[in-house]
């Protein structure tokens, strides 16, 4: 099971009612829980996902109001694609996709992660406004760049390095 902790702004936008949020705090996936927030870039609605352990992040651009099943599938699809672009092997990706088959939603619980998300949202906004569109062909390149930005919460480490370090620990 994978837990995605959604901000109130995102909960409201996608119609996640309080009754749909889980009280379960245990995340059994290798990567652990994620936080998600709704951000607007150039009048387009986007969802920013950030991994709690590593701050590895990705952005799903131009999301209109979507149903519950669609948001889960989008998360899975984007996660697999972004990790494949980063060079993670098929065996790891298949294992991870099995782990994220069951997604639960909860409210946010970590102000440090929310602060990091705000920094990332600002940087994504700057990069995409510079490209003049959230539909730019450079979005995958921008996501890769954002995972190579030193983060204070990681002691100046990059999210991609924190993710790779976590994966090495998981394999030993």
Given this model, what pLDDT does residue 69 score?
A: 57
**Residue 97: inside a domain, yes or no?**
yes
Given this model, what pLDDT does residue 70 score?
A: 78
**Residue 158: inside a domain, yes or no?**
yes
φ, ψ (nearest 5 deg) of residue 76:
-60, -45
For the chain, the first-to-last Cα distance in angstroms comes to 22
**Residue 128: inside a domain, yes or no?**
yes
Residues in the chain predicted with pLDDT less than 70, given as ranges, are 24-25, 64-69
**Residue 172: inside a domain, yes or no?**
no
- CATH number of domain containing 28: 3.30.420
Given this model, what pLDDT does residue 171 score?
A: 78
Count of domains for the chain: 1
Which structural domain, as residue segments, surrounds residue 119? 2-167
**Residue 35: inside a domain, yes or no?**
yes
Given this model, what pLDDT does residue 17 score?
A: 84
**Residue 106: inside a domain, yes or no?**
yes
Stated pTM of the model: 0.93
């Amino acid at each position: 099971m994978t837990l995605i902790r959604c901000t109130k702004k995102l909960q409201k936008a996608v119609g996640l009612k309080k009754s749909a949020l889980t009280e379960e705090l245990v995340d059994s996936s290798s990567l652990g829980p994620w936080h998600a927030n709704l951000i607007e870039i150039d009048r387009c609605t986007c969802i920013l996902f950030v991994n709690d352990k590593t701050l590895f992040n990705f952005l799903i651009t131009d999301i209109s109001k979507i149903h519950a099943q669609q948001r889960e599938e989008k998360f899975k699809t984007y996660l697999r694609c972004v990790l494949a672009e980063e060079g993670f092997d098929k065996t790891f990706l298949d294992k991870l996709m099995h782990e994220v088959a069951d997604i639960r939603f909860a409210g946010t619980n970590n102000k440090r992660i929310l602060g990091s998300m705000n920094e990332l949202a600002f940087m994504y906004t700057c990069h995409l406004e510079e490209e003049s569109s959230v539909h730019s062909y450079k979005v995958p390149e921008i996501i890769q760049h954002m995972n190579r930005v030193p983060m204070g919460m990681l002691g100046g480490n990059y999210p991609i390095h924190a993710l790779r370090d976590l994966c090495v620990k998981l394999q030993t």
